[in-house]
């Protein structure tokens, strides 16, 4: 007999650096469908700091995922480690029969990501990538309008992303040491949104990148990309971590040219939906702001809720590992193009 009692998804959280700890303070407490039962952090000072900040007992804190899996009853693993540890950590969790939610970028290559996807499918487990920018009202509204052909066929898409993050000490700010901080750490969001909003897949990309002498970044501080989609739509992208111009919201400024007008949208100001907006401009007329589609929970909380719901219903989530291979493939190809100076054909392997 059904009791109606809700049993939360028991979650082990791996990776308690700055961003991982933020998961504990913002998204996790907002999702009643999950209960975090343990944390894992191999770097002892970070583990101690997280334990103290979260007021956890020694029995809830571990240096390795293997130790946590052996000691704590769990259903799933949240992976918020640095990118190079995403797939190895997910592989340990999946091999132990646990569902996995992993931060973006899923992996640095399709080949690496595919191994985890196939393991999850072989075990009948949910593997989801937290492409949290999808879970905002601006993005959802834009995707619906394009799917409905509200302005007719799409002709082209342009996105600008501008932020200034070049004023901290070069030796101590970890972001400056990220691998491809524009194309892999940031543009992965915009590439994934492109696939969601258009509902088509990229086929070629030509990318360039630059790191001027005054940049504090080890790899590219700015990048551009031109992407051709499977239906011939052309996507142009400009992203910069060192722009002195007016900052965009984190989702960037989007302009989608259609047969019957222009759709513009933006969104995600940190963890709020306050500044999400969508407007439509028809030929000869003014831009008109539209109402936004509601989202139950936004950002990472929305992603985590979708993860719990997929496990409960036995369905694959929107941002499954399998689906995310398309976003990883575009990201990987953009990096290759920027390095080689060639147009790169995008393939899932």
Give per-residue pLDDT as tens, 43-72.
999 999 999 999 999 999 999 999 999 999
Q: Examine the pLDDT at 229 and tell me if it is beyond 90.
A: yes
The pLDDT score that the predictor gives to residue 2 is 44
Q: Examine the pLDDT at 105 and tell me if it is beyond 90.
A: yes
Q: Examine the pLDDT at 146 and tell me if it is beyond 60.
A: yes
The pLDDT score that the predictor gives to residue 270 is 82
CA count, 13 A, side-chain hemisphere, 42:
9
Cα–Cα distance, 233 to 285 (Å, whole number): 24
The pLDDT score that the predictor gives to residue 243 is 97
Total-model pTM: 0.95
- Spatial contact of 193 and 139, defined as CB atoms under 8 Å apart: yes
Provide the pLDDT confidence category of residue 348 given band limits of 50, 70 and 90. Answer: confident
Q: Examine the pLDDT at 4 and tell me if it is beyond 60.
A: no
The pLDDT score that the predictor gives to residue 133 is 97
* Domains of the chain and CATH, by start: 9-130 (3.40.50.720), 137-293+330-345 (3.30.360.10)
Q: Examine the pLDDT at 349 and tell me if it is beyond 90.
A: no
CA nearest 13: which of 38, 31, 44? 38
What residues are paired with 287 via a beta bridge? 281
- Number of Cβ within 10 Å of residue 337's Cβ equals 24
Query: Token digits for 214?
Result: 């005054």
* Mean pLDDT, range 102-112, rounded to an integer: 97
Strand ranges of the sheet holding 253-258, from the earlier edge strand across to the other edge = 287-289, 277-281, 261-266, 253-258, 154-162, 234-240, 222-229, 202-210, 344-345
CB contact set of 2 (below 8 Å; sequence gap of 6+): none
Where does the chain have alpha helices with state H? 18-25, 27-30, 44-54, 65-71, 86-95, 110-123, 137-147, 187-198, 299-313, 321-340
The pLDDT score that the predictor gives to residue 5 is 53
The overall average pLDDT reported for the chain is 96
Cα–Cα distance, 198 to 192 (Å, whole number): 10
* Mean pLDDT, range 31-49, rounded to an integer: 97
Task: Classify residue 236 by its DSSP letter.
Answer: E
Residue with tokens 């593997």: 127
């Amino acid at each position: 007999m059904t009791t109606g009692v809700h049993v939360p998804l028991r979650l082990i959280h791996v990776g308690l650096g700055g961003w991982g700890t933020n998961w504990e303070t913002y998204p996790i407490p907002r999702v009643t469908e999950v209960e975090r039962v343990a944390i894992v952090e191999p770097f002892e000072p970070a583990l101690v700091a997280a334990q103290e900040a979260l007021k956890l007992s020694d029995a809830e804190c571990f240096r390795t995922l293997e130790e946590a899996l052996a000691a704590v009853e769990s259903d799933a693993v949240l992976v918020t480690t640095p990118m190079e540890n995403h797939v190895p950590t997910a592989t340990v969790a999946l091999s132990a029969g646990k569902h996995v939610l992993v931060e973006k970028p899923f992996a640095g290559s399709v080949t690496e990501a595919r191994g985890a996807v196939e393991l999850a499918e072989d075990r009948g487990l949910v593997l989801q990538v937290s492409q949290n920018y999808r879970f905002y009202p601006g993005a959802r509204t834009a995707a619906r309008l394009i799917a409905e052909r509200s302005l007719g066929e799409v002709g082209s898409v342009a996105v600008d992303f501008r932020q200034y993050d070049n004023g901290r000490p070069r030796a101590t700010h970890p972001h400056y040491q990220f691998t491809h901080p524009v194309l892999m750490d940031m543009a992965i969001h915009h590439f994934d949104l492109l696939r969601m909003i258009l509902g088509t897949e990229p086929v070629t990309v030509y990318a360039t990148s630059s790191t001027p002498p005054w940049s504090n970044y080890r790899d590219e501080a700015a990048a551009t990309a031109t992407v051709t989609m499977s239906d011939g739509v052309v996507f142009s992208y400009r992203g910069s971590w060192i722009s002195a111009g007016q900052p965009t919201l984190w989702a960037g400024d989007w302009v989608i040219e259609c047969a019957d007008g222009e759709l513009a949208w933006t969104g995600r100001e940190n963890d709020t939906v306050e500044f999400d907006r969508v407007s439509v401009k028809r030929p000869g007329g003014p831009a008109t702001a539209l109402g936004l589609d509601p989202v139950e929970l936004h950002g990472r909380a929305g992603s985590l809720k979708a993860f719990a719901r997929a496990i409960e219903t036995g369905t694959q989530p929107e941002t499954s590992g399998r689906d995310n291979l398309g976003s990883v493939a575009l990201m990987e190809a953009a990096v290759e193009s920027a390095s080689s100076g060639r147009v790169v054909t995008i393939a899932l392997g």
